[in-house]
């Protein structure tokens, strides 16, 4: 049993210097297997996330079974999910738009002397593909990396367009089992090095 110690607490701040915090890549991209391992170049950072950070929304639902005497005699798991919610602010970023609307629905023309990069988006309602996701965090010397090898955006709410708030996309990312039966991998480094 761990006694209270500040060595074991920390915040979930993004590891911006190393990875960008939230990254996504096609399925079957080589995944990191440690809290600080190299991330494959196929992973694209998705820019700023709102101050609400990344929220774990997964659930484990259990149904109780009672006998004739109303005593609980069993608990049966009826659902388990791994799901994360976050708000992406980089609405002028081609990679973010490709995740939200589908890569085939986003085209870009390079910047010129008369205009910036031009991005065209078609909203078709196409089903979004499954992708690999990484949430990369650091607090002091501690690191936390959550890897979702097989996940997809399950809901999108576009923030309103007003002058006193940033535009953005609030999304939920739902994880599915990989070939090993794992929905999410959490890799932690407590930051305590030997002398």
Q: How confident is the model over 84-101, as pLDDT tens digits?
A: 999 999 999 999 999 999
pLDDT of residue 24: 98
- Three-state SS for 108-167 is EECCCCCCCCEEEECCCCCCCCCEEEEEEEEECCEEEEEEEEEEEEEEEEECCCCCCCCC
**Domain extents in the chain:** 14-56+83-189
Q: How confident is the model over 23-48, as pLDDT tens digits?
A: 999 999 999 999 999 999 999 999 99
10-residue mean pLDDT series, the chain (195 residues)? 78 77 96 95 95 93 94 94 96 97 96 97 96 95 96 97 96 98 96 87
Q: What is the pTM of this model?
A: 0.90
């Amino acid at each position: 049993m761990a006694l209270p110690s500040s060595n074991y607490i920390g915040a979930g701040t993004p590891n911006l210097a190393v990875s960008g915090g939230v990254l996504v890549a096609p399925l079957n991209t080589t995944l990191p297997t440690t809290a600080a391992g190299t991330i494959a170049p196929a992973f694209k950072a998705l820019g700023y996330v709102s101050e609400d950070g990344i929220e774990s929304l997964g659930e484990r639902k259990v149904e109780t079974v009672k006998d004739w005497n109303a005593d609980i005699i069993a608990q049966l798991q009826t659902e388990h999910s791994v799901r994360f919610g976050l708000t992406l602010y980089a609405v002028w970023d081609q990679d973010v738009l490709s995740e939200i609307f589908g890569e085939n629905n986003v085209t870009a023309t390079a910047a010129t002397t008369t205009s910036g990069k031009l991005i065209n988006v078609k909203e078709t309602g196409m089903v979004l593909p499954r992708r690999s996701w990484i949430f990369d965090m650091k607090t002091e010397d501690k690191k936390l990396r959550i890897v979702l090898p097989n996940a997809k955006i399950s809901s999108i709410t576009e923030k309103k367009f007003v002058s006193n708030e940033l535009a953005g996309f609030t999304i939920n990312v739902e994880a599915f089992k990989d070939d090993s039966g794992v929905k999410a991998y959490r890799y932690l480094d407590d930051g305590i090095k030997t002398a």
